Structure formats: structure tokens, C-alpha cells
Amino acid sequence: MGKNLTSRAEDYSKWYNELVIKADLAENSGVRGSMVIKPYGFSIWEMMQKELDQMFKETGHRNAYFPLFIPKSYFSKEASHVDGFAKECAVVTHYRLKTGEDGSIVVDEKAKLEEELIVRPTSETIIWDTYRKWIQSYRDLPILINQWANVVRWEMRTRLFLRTAEFLWQEGHTAHATEKEAIAEAEQMMHVYADFAENFMGVPVIKGTKSANERFAGALETYCIEAMMQDGKALQAGTSHFLGQNFAKAFDVKFSDKDGSLNHVWATSWGVSTRLMGALIMTHSDDNGLVLPPRLAPDQVVIVPIYRSEQEYDQTVSKAKELVDALRRKGIRVTLDSRDTHKPGWKFNEYELKGVPVRVGLGPKDLENKTYEIARRDTLSKELVPEDQAVQHIESLLTDIQDNLYQKALDMRTSLTHEAEDYDSFKTLLEEKGGFVLAHWDGTPETEERIKNETKATIRCIPLFGPQTPGKCILTGRDSARKVVFARAY
């Protein structure tokens, strides 16, 4: 009863694409580069949204909504921002279609916009144009706003969840009276993202800053959390930007301070996207399909009755319902699959493919022995558990699975992280081991660029924590304050 999934060892990239489709997470649409997020995939995204939204609110943020369209001229106001974004964007030029002479539908040339509108690739410009009206005095600060939205970046090579022309995300945009407060906010959100990645997604991450080459267009500093996928490639899982006064200056946003002076406002922005779905899938899943951490699994437990006769059906289903009730009282998300249209074997297979953390089987023998067969998705092991211990067993199993997935991912990262003392060993490590390579770097964009061109590895982050031992750059031999994380990346 195979899943017909290509194995990871055979072709990791193909495995990923097949898994996304077969587990009913998402698929390509008729629109180039845009995906359809299917109900099962979307239900996982909803779990993520719910937790993140709560974390944002607990740190004082409120949601709002800003326009999808941004006038072209807004982009031009912040020079590095336009270079980074506006050039890969969808452009709205007309606002009406009409029936052409041959009866087909054509663009009505009379309905041409005076100024083209850009479909937002990110919302700094429209939001700072708005904040100008909201901010006069220090009393109006801080502004701590988040938005859940769709954005469009015209990517040429797309992959489901990882890189799509349209994607869903949240973008926080905050305004502060002081530089210190803005930096603290940007750092706080990096920690919030890391907390979410590690404690909910079960994905260990390195907290750090980006090098200038990888920094957000318009930021003075980009904080990031960097994760490693099972193939050793890096995936940027979330970024938080300290924007300095760049956007306040571009959009003329000043406030009168307590001492009466008029100053530009300090800003941050921060976001995570449906890309997290890609990170989640690629960190934990195996050749049998998706593996979900219990804290983000829409169904944490599924119960499958096994029966031959109608009588056995009634008995197992009625027993299973008792377990459902008991688990729900504990706040556990559980589904009873009593559909008569599919065989138990088919169901076992299906829930394995869909990554449900715990599967409970219940047949006539179990009724007799007062047991349940309880299987865990992460290790694929199963055991017979006395019925009076089932709830407690499942509760602790869910904690175990959550912890085990994190630990497995951490062990994998550890085993695929190496240090290089010179450029030759750096290149050898990248070729032969892959993963993260820690190495000294002289801090210049030119050196990073050369290394990237020669090895396809970029600086994923400059770690904020851990040992800080100075040394010499592997390429130029110049001084380096600390080793940084190089990797090939998604």
C-alpha cells in the first residue's frame, strides 16, 4: 500500500512537489506562478495564523488593512526600495474591458489610468503615506500595526509555497519615537518568530542579521531566523527589519517630541508568509508523506474503527465516540473517521500521507481486550494501550511527538553544520556535505558576491548569539569578527 511518493534520497525536489500535491496541500493554478491552497493546506495555515496572531496581539499589535494597489510614484520615493521591488511587480494600467469588433473581450484603451497602480509586493510605501496623516506628536507613538494580506512578486521560477507570484503573509509596520525603541521592536519580533518556529513548528532556527547583500530593500538592518531543510539547504523563515528613518524621510513623517523638537519617525517592518508551509513540510516529512507537529496539526488524533459486520461497526463506533469525547474534554483535536465508503487500510494510508500525529485503531479484538492500537506518525511505531490509560497516553504522546520532531530537526542541523578554516575546505564541505558552513568573512559585499558566484552559497545570517571568536576571512584573509553561516538556500 505505497504512497507512490518519490523518495527523498532519490530526488528531494521531486519528493517535495509530489508530497504537496498528494497530501492535498496546494496545486498550481491556471494563472502563471499562482497557487491554489487547498482546504487541507489552508487549515494548517489557519493554525499558524491563529497562533501568530495571538502572539502579535500579546505583544501589543493590532490588525488593520491597507490598499492592495500602490500608485507607481510612491515606490520612487525610497530609492533602494524601488530597486528591490517595483521592478518585479504586476502593473495595473486599465480599469475596464469592452467587447471588441470581433465580439471578443478586449482592454478598453479609453479606460487607461493616468498613473499606473502596482499590486503590492510589500506595503511600506502605502502605509507610510498613511502614517503621515496619523502622526503629529509623540503622543501618537508608537504605532504597532499588523496586516494579514496577499502580495504579488513576479517570480520567474516558482514552486508551491516556497516561491509563488502571489502569496499570503502578514506584515507588521511600526512607528516609534526613538531609534532604540525601533531596534528593540525589530529584535522582539525576531524572537517572536523564533519562538513560533521552534515551539509550534518544531523547526530550530538561527537568529541573526543579514549581510548587506541580503538585506531588505530600504532597511538599515534585517534580522532573520534561518532554518535548515532535510536536504541541507537553508530556508529564510522570517525577517524583521529596522528601517531607520528611511521611510519617514521619504514620506515626510515627522512628530513633535516632548521637548518641542520636530523629528522623523523611526520604523520597523516584519513578516512571515505561506513560505512557512514549505519550511514545515521540508523539515519533518518523510517518504510516507507529511509529518505534522501536534501543535499545528488540524487533526491531532484520528480514530479509525475496524469492523466486518454491522454489529461490529456499531460497537467500535460507539466505543470510539467515548474516546472522542474524552479527548475533546482535554482540548485535543480529534476526528472519528467512521465513513463506510473506505477500508481501514485506505484510511491508515491516507492519514499517514496527511501527517496526522496520532492514529488510533479500534477493532473487535480491542473491544474484547479493552485496548486501543495507538500509532505515532513521527516514528511510525505503534502499541496496544489499555483503554483506561488511552487519554493520558495520547496526551503525553502529543507532547513527545512535538519534542521529538524538534529534536530530530536539531540533530539533523547539527550533523549538517560544519566549520571551515580556509576556502578550499569551505568548498569541499559545501560540495561533499552541504548544509551550513560556518566560516570567517571580511564583512564586505564584494567578498560575499565572489563566494556566491563561485560556490552558489550565500551568507544566510550573521548569528546574534553563540561564540564570537575573531579570525581571518577565508577568501581575502582580512580580519573577521566572527564566523558567519554560509549555505545554499531556497
Among 7, 13, 54, 76, binds a copy of itself (CB under 8 A): 76
What residues from 162 to 221 belong to the interface with a copy of itself (CB under 8 A)?
166, 168
Among 93, 396, 399, 407, binds a copy of itself (CB under 8 A): 93
- CB under 8 A: which stretch of 85-93, 201-209, 289-297, 447-455 binds a copy of itself? 85-93
Q: Residue 437 CA to chain centroid, in angstroms?
A: 23
Tell me, what amino acid is at 209? T
Which of 443, 449, 441 minimizes the C-alpha distance to 423?
441
Asked if residue 107 binds a copy of itself (CB under 8 A), the reply is yes
- CB under 8 A: which stretch of 73-81, 254-262, 283-291, 329-337 binds a copy of itself? 73-81
- Quick one: 227 exposed, middle or buried, by C-beta within 10 A (0-12, 13-18, 19+)? buried
What residues from 311 to 350 belong to the interface with a copy of itself (CB under 8 A)?
341
Asked if residue 29 binds a copy of itself (CB under 8 A), the reply is yes
**Residue in the block written with cell 500509532:** 375
**CB-nearer residue toward a copy of itself: 107 or 184:** 107
Asked if residue 256 binds a copy of itself (CB under 8 A), the reply is no
What is the smallest separation between the CB atom of 325 and a copy of itself, expressed in angstroms? 18
CA atoms in the 13 A half-sphere facing the CB of 76: 6
What is the smallest separation between the CB atom of 62 and a copy of itself, expressed in angstroms? 4
What is the smallest separation between the CB atom of 117 and a copy of itself, expressed in angstroms? 7
Which of 413, 484, 392 minimizes the C-alpha distance to 443?
484
Is 269 in contact with 126 (CB distance < 8 Å)?
no
What is the smallest separation between the CB atom of 95 and a copy of itself, expressed in angstroms? 4
What residues from 122 to 161 belong to the interface with a copy of itself (CB under 8 A)?
126, 129-130, 133, 139, 145, 149-150, 152, 154
**CB-nearer residue toward a copy of itself: 39 or 445:** 39
Coil, strand, or helix at residue 2? coil
Tell me, what amino acid is at 182? A
Q: How many residues lie near a copy of itself (CB under 8 A)? A: 63
How many angstroms separate the CA atoms of 11 and 231, rounded? 10
- Quick one: 228 exposed, middle or buried, by C-beta within 10 A (0-12, 13-18, 19+)? buried
- CB under 8 A: which stretch of 101-109, 201-209, 409-417, 444-452 binds a copy of itself? 101-109
Sheet holding 371-376, edge to edge: 334-336, 301-305, 358-362, 371-376, 382-386
Instruction: Give me 136's grid cell.
Output: 503629529
**CB-nearer residue toward a copy of itself: 27 or 419:** 27
Q: What are the contacts of 28-35 at 24+ separation with CB within 8 A? A: 28/160, 31/165, 32/158, 32/165, 33/154, 33/155, 33/158, 33/164, 33/165, 33/166, 34/164, 34/165, 34/166, 35/160, 35/161, 35/164, 35/166
**CB-nearer residue toward a copy of itself: 271 or 435:** 271
What is the smallest separation between the CB atom of 72 and a copy of itself, expressed in angstroms? 6
Contacts of 40 (CB under 8 A, 6+ apart): 23, 24, 25, 298, 354
What is the smallest separation between the CB atom of 113 and a copy of itself, expressed in angstroms? 9
- CB under 8 A: which stretch of 31-39, 227-235, 424-432, 480-488 binds a copy of itself? 31-39
What residues from 33 to 72 belong to the interface with a copy of itself (CB under 8 A)?
34-39, 42-43, 46, 62-72
Among 12, 17, 55, 92, binds a copy of itself (CB under 8 A): 92
Coil, strand, or helix at residue 26? strand
Q: For binding to a copy of itself (CB under 8 A), which residues are involved?
A: 27, 29-31, 34-39, 42-43, 46, 62-76, 82, 86-98, 104-105, 107-108, 116-119, 126, 129-130, 133, 139, 145, 149-150, 152, 154, 166, 168, 341
